[in-house]
Amino acid sequence: MLRAARARRIAAATAFGGGGLTLVGGGTVALLYLQARLAKNAIGITPWNRPRADGLYGTGEGPPLRLLMIGDSTAAGFAVTRSRETPGALLAAGISAASDRPVLLRCPATPGATSADLAGQVERAGPRHHDVAVVFIGANDVIRRVRPNDAVASLREVTRDLVAAGTPVVVATCPDLGTVRPIGWPLRSVARRASRQLAAAQTIAVTEAGGRTVSLSDLLADDFRSDPLAMFGPDRFHPSARGYAQASFAVLPSACAALGLLPELDEEETTRGVLPVDRAAVMAAETPGTEVTRAGAGDRAVDRRHGKRPAFVRGPFRLRPSSRAVPAEPREETDDENVGAPRATPGGAEEPRPG
C-alpha cells in the first residue's frame, strides 16, 4: 500500500532542499538495474522517423488556442508513423472540438527525457504565451534511477514558472512501469511501487505549484494484458497508436477544464471531493484517470489541521475518442514570425489572422 507520508516526504524534500531520498534500497536498486539491462536488451532499439506534429488542428471562430506539449516519449508519441496519431495531435483535435476554435500545437517533447529536461523544452518552444501546457513525464526518472526529490523539484519549478506566466499546467504523472512486459517478476513489483510513489510525489508538488495532475497509473493495464499486440508498439515497451489514444483521452477532460471549457461542479459535489493533498495524491496514484487540483479559497478550511493544503479530487474520467476528435494531418508549420498569417487548417479552411 502506498503511504501518504512517504509521498509527502519526497515532495517536502524538493521544497526545502532535502537530500538523498530514494524510492528503493540499494540492494534492490542493483537488482532493478540488472533487470532493466535485461529488459533493455529485450526491447532493443526501434528506428523512428518522427512525424511532424506541430501545426494547426481543427477549425472555428477566433484566434487559435496555443497548446504546449512537453515531456518524454509518451508526449512525443514515440514509434507512431503519422502525426495525427501523436498525443499532442489528439489533444489538439479534442480541444478544438470542445472550444470550436483551431488549436496551434507546439511539441518539443523528446523520447528519453527526464524531469530535468523539461525547462529546456519550454525554452525551445519559444517565448510566446501558451493557453495550456500538458506534460507527460516520470517513467525515465524511474528507469534511470534519478533521485525522486530531484525529479520532483524539476517538475515543480517548471510548473511554477508556467503558472506564473499565466499558462495552466496539466501533468500526466508517472505511469505504472509494472505493466511493461519485458520487466519480469519479482522486480516488476518494485517498478510498480517506485512509479506510484513518484506519481504521488509529483501530484503533491504540481498541485501546490498551482497546476493539476491526471494519474496514468495502470490506466491501460487491463487492455495491455488482454490485447498486448494491439496496445504495445513494436518494441513491446512503448504504447501503440491505440495506447497513446487511450492515454490522451484520459488527459483531455483536464486540459479542457484548465481552459475553462467544462462546466463547473456545484458546491456540494466540490466539497465532497476535497482531501488533504497527500491523501489525494495517494488516491490518484492508485486510481488511474483521477484528476487532482488545488482546492479553491472557499475550501481551504476543509483541512488546515497539521498545516496540510487541501486538494480537489475529480474522476476517474472515462472519455473515449469520438469521430469528431480524430485529427487530420497538420499543415507544415512555418517560422514563428509567420504564425499569425492566414494559413490552411488540416480541414482546408483558411485560418484568420489572430486579433
pLDDT in tens, 50-90: 889 999 999 999 999 999 999 999 999 988 989 999 999 99
Task: Determine which of 51-60, 192-201, 336-345 has the lowest per-residue pLDDT on average.
Answer: 336-345
| pTM strictly above 0.85 | no
More confident residue, 233 or 321: 233
Helices (H), 148-227: 148-164, 187-208, 221-226
Is the omega angle on the peptide bond into residue 316 within 30 degrees of 0, that is, cis? yes
- Which are the catalytic amino acids? 73, 235, 238
Which residue type, as a one-letter code, is found at position 160?
R
Task: Assign 3-state DSSP to the chain and report helix, strand, coil percentages, each to 5.
Answer: 45, 15, 40
Of 88, 67, 73, nearest to 180 by C-alpha is 73
**Which cell numbers hold the place of 199?**
506519481
Q: What pLDDT sits at residue 275?
A: 78
